[in-house]
Structure 1
Amino acid sequence: MPRTTALSRTCAALVAVLAATVPASLAVAAPSPTPAPAAGNSVARWAVQPSSPDGPTGRNYFIYDLTPGSTLTDHLGVTNLSDRPLTFDVYGTDAHTTTDGAFALLPADQAAVDVGSWMRLEQRRWTVPPGKRADIPFRLTVPRNASPGDHAGGMIASLWQAGTTADGQRVRMDQRLAARVYLRVTGDVRPAVAVESVRVAYDNPVNPLGGGDLTVSYLLRNTGNVRVGGTGSVIVDGPFGWELARTAPVDLPELLPGATFAVTERITGVPPTLRLSATVDLAPTTTDTALPPVLRTAGVWAPPWLLIALLATAVGWFGVRRWRRRSATRPATTTTASASASRSPTAAEPTAAEPRGGDPRGAEPLSGTS
């Protein structure tokens, strides 16, 4: 059965974003140094990655498992790939999941309140010579009252540069590259995800044999305290559990605690079977293990209008024919009954079994004797 899945295309794009360094205000560093592009007419290029006092360690991200109250020191490697010295603002910030499932960092004018505020540097501004790398130390201190579970953020290297817009205006741009920070605070870990607001819409076709389009929209919410991912699919059933369609499982984006993600599935060629049920089948996972499946069902009426119209026409035609037949036979029956009544003897007329003047009881007449 042909069908298209909008979620498949969306998630594929999100995976590409999450796996690579992108040159934007919410950029996140990849495992190997990836240069930032030039801004306007500038030739400034640089890269960031997790590092150590002796250089890069090959880590993909900063990943920690710490207890409340603990402290550690780590390093962010910032490499100047341009031909002139560059001065960066280096600082930590918080992360969040966007509505389309992307990993993103807070804008520069918004203060961090979570793991980003727990990372401190000796100084904010760092100048790196051309072709050199600076391994910048920072200290991460977990508050004693930190909530258990996952906390996500990023270490940012920001460069202010002058640029030119399409209409020739000079602007000052803040370009940022960052390395992700994933911190799990030990304690009561509660992975959970919910499927909310399931909505089903059906484009009922005129020809029921051709099938129509079924659109299923729902909202995923991370209701636990650790990041979750997984796969999701939609199953479409008709009456009595008759399976009509099933989408292929697709990878869902990583959801940070409290994050939501809207999903829309479009399935084509679904026949109208009076009632359609769409079941969201979610198989969530964490970084450690798989979670129990989450199912949520909603339905929509899908009457086959053409078949109903044909059936109603047929029933009406047979009903009219029966009424006409009954109307045509009713006068003949009445006439026959009337004729029968006119031939019935009355009480005043003697019957053949009752001799005139005889004993009403039917006794034989008396014979005379001499």
Structure 2
Amino acid sequence: MPLVTLLSRTCVTLVAALLAAGPASAAVAAPAPTGAPASGPATPGPAATRWAVQPSGPDGPTGRNYFIYDLAPGATLTDHVGVTNLSDRPLTFQVYGTDAYTTADGAFALLPADRAATDVGSWIRFDRQAWTVAPGRRADIPFRLSVPANATPGDHAGGVIAAIAQARTTADGQQVRVDQRLAARVYLRVNGDVRPAVAVESVSVSYDNPINPAGGGDAVVTYRVRNTGNVRVAGTGTVAVEGPFGWRLARTAPVDLPELLPGGGFTVTERVTGVPPALLLTAEIDLAPTTVDTALPPVRRAASTWAPPWLLLAALAVLAGWLTVRLRRRARAARTAGPVAVPPTTRPVTGTAGGAP
């Protein structure tokens, strides 16, 4: 396969950072292609490529941050996405819908360009995919969202993407094709049985035991949170570290959890400093999950690890050994001394000397 053809199939996704923007997503896009190696850095064009994507209407932007819908199975609606060309030359955009997912680090992300949508992204249809926008102008592009009659209840997330495929020339003259994307988020809730649920799948605790227990050590607590329901959730999480008999040793400040789409998971790692070695440490996770509508019941899970106070135990062992030696020496001295002679006792005799009374 020719190098140019191979490189033309690569794409660079700019969606991750730009989806978190406000109602309009804008970018200066001049990334290098990924995939097949290039022999030199990509050379940008004469002017930076800039454009914006935002929810809109037939007469222009509506002030919405995202596309947010609440529809029944089988429902259909028409909406618009505004694509603004902020460059100094005409730009042709590929406009389409795709699905979202939660990344391993808890970020909202969209499927790469080479993966077909199977959820809400596949329910979005445009009259055509390619749209050319003049410099400094905006196109309010209509699309239809059709919810299948058998769509599962709950939240479905995706995005409406405006992508540009442009040619770039590397330092050694190779022609490459770069796919650059901006998007506006789509949140759709399908009416039906809504089941918010969050689980703490696993908890692990490790302890950096100090030689001197007075200063305390570090306890590292790692736990995995997963959205096991059918609506998106967020919330906060705290970690409490306790010793034997519920002795509270430390507690972290609440940590904001990222928004998790249904099925999404996120791993939290907390380092708690200054924890004394209390023989047995128990870390309790306390989650306060929420949905976009309400707070959910707290979720708790705990795990333990041994934290022996080595210096104290060593001191007790030395003391016990010293006492043992002392007692043995006393016992040995008592055995070697033998029995103690007891002098006889005399009883006084009463009566008259020389005869009977």
Equivalent residue, structure 1, for 2:266: 261
Residue 67 (structure 1) aligned with residue 72 (structure 2): yes
Distance 1:167 1:322, change over 3 A: farther
Q: What's 2:8 paired with? A: none
Instruction: Find the aligned partners of 1:168 and 1:206 in 2 and give their Cα distance.
Output: 62
Q: Specify the alignment match of 1:176 in structure 2.
A: 181
Does residue 50 of structure 1 match 2:55? yes
User: Is 1:41 matched up with 2:62?
Assistant: no
Tell me if the contact between 2:24 and 2:65 (Cα under 8 Å) persists in the aligned partners: no
- Say if 1:25 and 1:174, in contact at 8 Å, map to a contact too: no
> Which of 1, 19, 23 is 1:28 aligned to?
19
Range moving further from structure 2, 37-46 or 266-275: 37-46
Cα distance in 1 for partners of 2:21, 2:274 equals: 42
**Structure with greater strand share of residues:** 2
* Aligned equivalents of 2:290, 2:174: Cα separation in 1: 48
How far 1:112 sits from its partner (Å)?
Answer: 0.3
Q: Does 1:161 align with 2:166?
A: yes
Is residue 235 of structure 2 the alignment partner of residue 235 of structure 1? no
Q: What is the TM-score normalised by the length of structure 2?
A: 0.86
Rounded Cα–Cα distance in structure 1 between residues aligned with 2:173 and 2:272 = 47
Deviation at 1:251, TM superposition (A): 1.0
Paired with 1:166 and 1:305, the residues of 2 have a C-alpha distance of 62
SS at match of 1:317: helix
Question: What is the Cα deviation at residue 100 of structure 1?
Answer: 0.3
Residue 113 of structure 2: aligned partner: 108
Does residue 144 in structure 1 map to residue 162 in structure 2? no
Length, aligned pairs only: 321
Question: Do the aligned residues in 2 keep the contact of 1:66 with 1:184 (CA within 8 Å)?
Answer: yes
Q: Which residue of 1 aligns with 2:225?
A: 220
Question: Displacement, 1:68?
Answer: 0.2
* Root mean square deviation, CA, Å: 2.2
- 78-87 vs 30-39, which moves further: 30-39
Q: Which residue of 2 aligns with 1:208?
A: 213
**Contact map agreement 2:29 2:180 (CA 8 A) in 1:** no
Q: Highest Rg: 1 or 2?
A: 1
1:32 Cα offset (Å): 3.8
Task: State the SS of the aligned residue for 2:334.
Answer: helix
Distance 1:280 1:164 in 2: 53
Match of 1:49, SS state, is strand
Would the alpha carbon gap of residues 149 and 319 (structure 1) be closer, same or farther in structure 2, given more than 3 Å must change?
Answer: same
User: Does residue 290 of structure 2 align to residue 285 of structure 1?
Assistant: yes
Q: CA deviation at 1:167?
A: 8.2
CA 165–279 in structure 1, closer or farther in 2 if over 3 Å, else same: farther
- 2:123 is aligned, of 110, 118, 123, to 118
Structure 2 spans left out of the alignment, 5+ residues: 1-12, 31-42, 345-357
Could you tell me whether the CA contact under 8 Å between 2:15 and 2:183 is conserved in 1? no
Task: Give the Å deviation of 1:239.
Answer: 1.1
